[in-house]
Structure 1
Amino acid sequence: MTGPTVSRSTEPEPAAGWAPTPALGRAVLLAGLLLVAGVLLGRVDLIVLAAPFALGTAYALRRRPTALPQVWITSGDDGPLVEGGDVAAAVSVGNPDTVDYDLVVLRTRVSPWLRILRAGFARDLAVGDVPPTGGEAPAAGTGRSVADRPFVTSVPVGSAVDLELAGSALRWGRHPVGPAGARVATAGGLLVSRAVIVEPVRVRVYPRTEPFEAVEAMPRAAGLVGAHHSRRPGEGGELAGVRVFAPGDRLRRIDWRVSLRARQLHVAATLSDRDAEVVVLLDVLAEAGRSGGVGGAASVLDTTVRATAAIAEHYLHRGDRVSLLEYGPAARRLRPAAGRRQYLTVLEWLLDVRVTASSHEPYDQVFGPQLLSSDALVVVLTPLLDERSAQMLARLARAGRFVVAVDTLPADLAPPKDKGWAEVAYRLWRLDREVMIGQLREHGVPVVRWAGAGSLDQVLRDVARLATAPRVGGR
């Protein structure tokens, strides 16, 4: 999160939003019955008995509320919030009226991916249902959240009370805090307001970057900046050898030791440092596995998003240009760029990644004319659950692209528990998928399972070797 986010309720409304409570009805009814009975029966004691009820009700209603309470949600942090990081939010109730709010009942909803460990008003934080220090809170989707309960307080005139929520973020995405609602009782509990509801605030949780390091050179560099060593001679820091001095060589490149030994001028030849374009293609046609949040099981989408963030961070740190593409009906794309700003843009772009099923072939929609550079490395993150994904990889390879396929299917994907032919069908599907991967490798598409650090090193080594060989086929 780059700054605090606030969602407010509407402006204060007139007293039409207030209604009498059953307590007011009972007080008026009791006082009326006692007065009528005292007059009809001539009983002064009944009239005296009704007086406290009538006077108490009149005194409580002497100052009636004129505006509804204000409710707003605030969520903010000093820096970006990453999976597993601490999240803080507050639901506030303000009193713009001229009378005190005797009782305020406040309730809010929180995304199950935000594990709220402490909830309470500023003066009594950690009210009830708080696990002991160091204790484990219920996992997402199980148990009752600490925030899933009503909170009661009072609000004096012209002030506000904050319900503070503190916990941790379990999963990447845009998670709602809210909607929140409040109802207020005043005039000694004789008047109650209607519920004031405020829209939720979305908390941005960026994916946790998995460790990734690729030490292999890129297949073919394109620009004139960056940290990858080209196979072309030029100005750079990587020594390519020593050769005889030629017209145009700089004097500072002269290797005097070799020159004196050979009695002829020699210069140190270097390789130019060039940047590369990395295109990360996210296959969003199918999903598998169940997400357990940070530290738990990872679904296909979890692995895809976290691996994308890691790959983008690695290559952007090296000065390369990175672009993102979605292989799906939406065909979202992020233009290639380099630098810290591009990395933050990548993280923001990944928050909206969703799996969308579709029956049509999105190849022509995703790969428009002149969208991919011929020298770009295309890293495809795919679970290979859809035949169209394998066909897309084969078409890219036939078009002469440098393609690396990263298998994002969970290794511990459990077979179906249904009896009958379900287990046999699962085993046949596994065999068919292995045959598909073998055919892709025969087409020249390296397929590697994502395993964090060093996942792509061996594959990039093979692709770099292929890049130096003669190539056949159009682009």
Structure 2
Amino acid sequence: MTPPGQGAAGHRPAVDATPWAPTLAVATGAVAGVLVLVLAVLAGRGDVAVVVAAPLLTAVVVRHRRPTGSVRAWFAGPADEAGDDGRDLAGPDGTLRAALWLDAPAGAAAHVALTRQGRAVADALVHVDGTRRLPVTARTVRTGPQEVATAVVQGVGPGAASVADPADAVDRRTVVLPRATPVREVPLPPRLRGTTGAHPARRPGEGGDLRDVHPWGPGDRLRRIDWRVTARRSPDLRDLYVRREHTLAEAVVVLVVDSRDDVGPDPRTWRGPVPPDPADATSLDRAREAAATLARAFLDQGDRVGLDDLGVRRRPLPPGGGRRQLQRVRHALAGTHPAGDPPVRVRAPRLPSGALAVVFSTFLDDEAAAVATQWRAAGHRVVAVDVLPALRSADLSVRERLAVRLVTLTREDRVAELADQGVEVVAWRDDPAVALQVLARRGRRHAGAGVV
């Protein structure tokens, strides 16, 4: 029976077709035995010839018993084992799971070396005996495309007397979707749209809070008559009074991710050849998580959410609602990454009328701040989410600390200028739910801008 995932597209089974060869110890013993045997024959020493017969006999037995087949290795994920060639997703605790399948001749073993992101994580000698499945588990704090593990497999013959050349490395890659954590309250734009939704608007209609009590007129429904007010104001029933309500409307929100920067808490990894530590969540990871969290909060309220990326020029994800829209947003966020030199924007991208713009950026340069300022000047409510991680400067040199200090001061001035322009700033570090709640309640002063 063919194991699940064998030969599936994207798993690249590795085949070791190189003939099996004796190990260095066996080969050295055989060569030394031949030399000693020749010298013993020339010297007429039969006892010595008998002694060196053992290494030669071992070499003959190894050559006779060495495997004749090949060693194959491939990765398969949980979706592949279920019969669906899909992508792995991280569990609630950030756990990635896959399976390494090994196929070797009878009696052969396999030496497996696992690495992840260039770092050795496991090294073991595994008895295969045909086909064997090895579970592989990795933990991650990152989101987006990433490596689960890379395996280099080498066949080992019976008694470790023969080996084969290492097969080509096989790897398993996956896409980790950002988690959407629940938040209680989120800010809304000052102007809502439509005649359906979950928020009371300023326009008269049905379904919302009480607007006023008005004399009955053409178009008013009889079931809206307030008989108590009518009896109090017009006892003779000459005039009828109806209750009028605010209509319900929905908010349009555009999430804008600045994918140009992907920096970690160690400033020495910024724009340098050293990548961020895999155990540290970068600014783009925080941006993905924050955007997914806000998308879930707005969509749960029945609002419409769209997504745009400042780092690339492509068609944005249009605003939509429902669970499918949340999955679209999460998958689009997982695909965001720095892509070469970012384009220079002459003007900010266009937003729907009355939309709330939420910008996720590190604000290490003026690009995202300029876009947010243009949107605010156009009358949109703009929320700037600062996703820069808390910096670690304990191991920095004096010059590095000075450079970080200058960059930090410039960034703080830029963020303060945003606040002066009317852009509301939220730091996604300590407790962003509290800051979002403050912004949501700040908008309740205007009718139709509150949160239910």
TM-score range, shorter chain: 0.7 to 0.9
How far is the alpha carbon of 1:105 from its aligned partner? 1.0
Matched, 1:259 2:262: no
Aligned partner of 2:331 among 331, 348, 352: 348
Q: Give the SS at the match of 2:423.
A: coil
Q: 1:222 to 1:159 in 2, by over 3 A?
A: same
Contact in 2 for aligned 1:404/1:459 (Cα 8 Å)? no
Query: Secondary structure of the equivalent of 2:192?
Result: coil
C-alpha contact (below 8 Å) 2:199/2:448 kept by paired residues: no
Shift of 1:83: 6.3
Residue type of the partner of 1:452? Answer: P
Q: Does 1:315 align with 2:295?
A: no
Q: 2:436 aligns with which of 437, 456, 459?
A: 456
- Identity over aligned pairs, percent: 31
Where do 1:408-423 residues align within 5 Å? 408-410=387-389, 418-419=397-398, 423=402
Partner residue, 1:118: none
The correspondence for 2:107, drawn from 100, 109, 114, is 100
Q: Aligned runs of 1:233-252 on 2, under 5 Å?
A: 233-252=204-223
Q: 1:434 to 1:26 in 2, by over 3 A?
A: closer
Residue identity opposite 1:241 in structure 2? D
- When residues 38 and 302 of structure 1 are mapped into structure 2, their CA distance, relative to the original with a 3 A threshold, is closer
How far did residue 92 of structure 1 move? 2.8
Residues 43-58 of structure 1: matches in 2 within 5 Å? 45=47, 48-49=50-51, 52-58=54-60
Determine the C-alpha separation between the residues in 1 that align with 2:90 and 2:158.
43
Conserved? CA contact 2:258–2:359, under 8 Å: yes
Q: Which amino acid aligns with 2:103?
A: G
* Counterpart secondary structure, 1:455: helix
Which string of whole-angstrom CA distances, capped at 9 and with x for unpartnered residues, describes residues 353-378 of structure 1? 334674752354x62xxx42112111
One-letter amino acid of the counterpart of residue 250, structure 2: D
Deviations 1:32-69 (A, max 9, x none): 44664566566655565555555544444335433321
Find the counterpart in structure 2 of residue 472 from structure 1.
Answer: none
Q: Distance in 2 between matches of 1:417 and 1:26?
A: 52
2:131 aligned partner: 159
Cα-to-partner distance string for 1:308-356 (whole Å, 9 max, x where unaligned): 1111110011121111112124557323221112212222222233346
Q: Does 1:10 align with 2:17?
A: no
Deviations 1:397-428 (A, max 9, x none): 23333322233345767599554796599369
* Paired residues of 1:9 and 1:198 also in contact (CA < 8 A): no
TM (norm. structure 1) is 0.73
Distance verdict in 2 for CA 1:189–1:222, change over 3 Å: same
Among 61, 64, 83, the residue aligned to 2:63: 61
- For the residues of structure 1 that align with 2:159 and 2:448, how far apart are their CA atoms? 85
**Paired residue secondary structure (1:62):** helix
- Quickly say closer, same or farther: Cα 1:242–1:385, change in 2 above 3 A: same
Find the aligned partners of 2:211 and 2:63 in 1 and give their Cα distance: 92
Q: Does the 8 Å CA contact 1:9/1:196 hold for their aligned counterparts?
A: no
- Counterparts of 1:52-451 in structure 2, within 5 Å, are 52-76=54-78, 80-82=89-91, 84-95=93-104, 97=105, 99-101=106-108, 103-111=109-117, 148-156=121-129, 158-162=130-134, 164-166=135-137, 168-214=139-185, 217-262=188-233, 263=237, 264-286=239-261, 290=265, 299-329=282-312, 333-355=316-338, 358=341, 361-364=344-347, 367=349, 371-410=350-389, 418-419=397-398, 423=402, 426=405, 430=409, 433=411, 435-450=413-428, 451=431
Paired with 2:403 and 2:154, the residues of 1 have a C-alpha distance of: 57
Count of aligned positions: 422
How far the C-alpha of 1:20 sits from its partner, in A, is 3.3
Deviation for aligned residue 1:280 = 0.9
Q: Distance in 1 between matches of 2:300 and 2:183?
A: 12
- Segments of 5+ residues of structure 1 without an aligned counterpart are 113-144, 470-475
Deviates further, 242-251 or 419-428: 419-428
Moved more, 446-455 or 173-182: 446-455
The 3-state SS of whatever aligns with 1:200 is strand
Whether the 8 Å CA contact 2:99–2:136 is kept in 1: the answer is yes
**1:243: Cα distance to partner?**
2.4
Task: State the SS of the aligned residue for 1:232.
Answer: strand
Secondary structure of residue in 2 paired with 1:93: strand
- Structure 1 residues 261, 410: closer, same or farther in 2, change over 3 A? same
Per-residue CA deviation, residues 241-260 of structure 1 (Å, 9 max, x unaligned), is 33222222333333333333
CA distance in 1, matches of 2:298, 2:404: 41
User: 2-side partners of 1:265 and 1:425: how far apart?
Assistant: 71
CA distance in 2, matches of 1:419, 1:284: 30
Indicate the RMSD between aligned Cα atoms, in angstroms. Answer: 4.1
The letter of the residue matching 2:258 is D
Conserved 8 A contact 1:219-1:464:
no
Deviates more, 1:285-294 or 1:448-457: 285-294
- SS of residue matched to 1:305: helix
Q: Which moved more, 1:197-206 or 1:302-311?
A: 197-206
- Residue equivalent to 1:135: none
Does the 8 Å contact 1:83/1:205 carry over to 2?
Answer: no
Structure 2 unmatched ranges of 5 or more: 83-87, 268-275
1:183 to partner: Cα distance: 0.8
**Secondary structure, aligned partner of 2:435:** coil
Compute the displacement of 1:385 (Å). Answer: 2.3
Note closer, same or farther for the CA distance 1:321–1:4 as it changes in structure 2 (3 Å cut): farther
Deviation, 1:71, is 0.9
TM-score, scaled relative to structure 2? 0.77
Shift in Å, 1:442 = 4.4
Change (3 A) 1:377 1:82: farther
Question: CA distance change for structure 1 residues 421 and 247 in 2, over 3 Å: closer, same or farther?
Answer: same
Q: The residue matched to 2:375 in structure 1 has which SS?
A: helix
Q: Which amino acid aligns with 1:152?
A: L
SS at structure 2 position matched to 1:328: coil
With over 3 angstroms needed to count, the CA separation of the structure-2 counterparts of 1:352 and 1:215, relative to structure 1, is closer
Letter of the 1:274 counterpart:
A
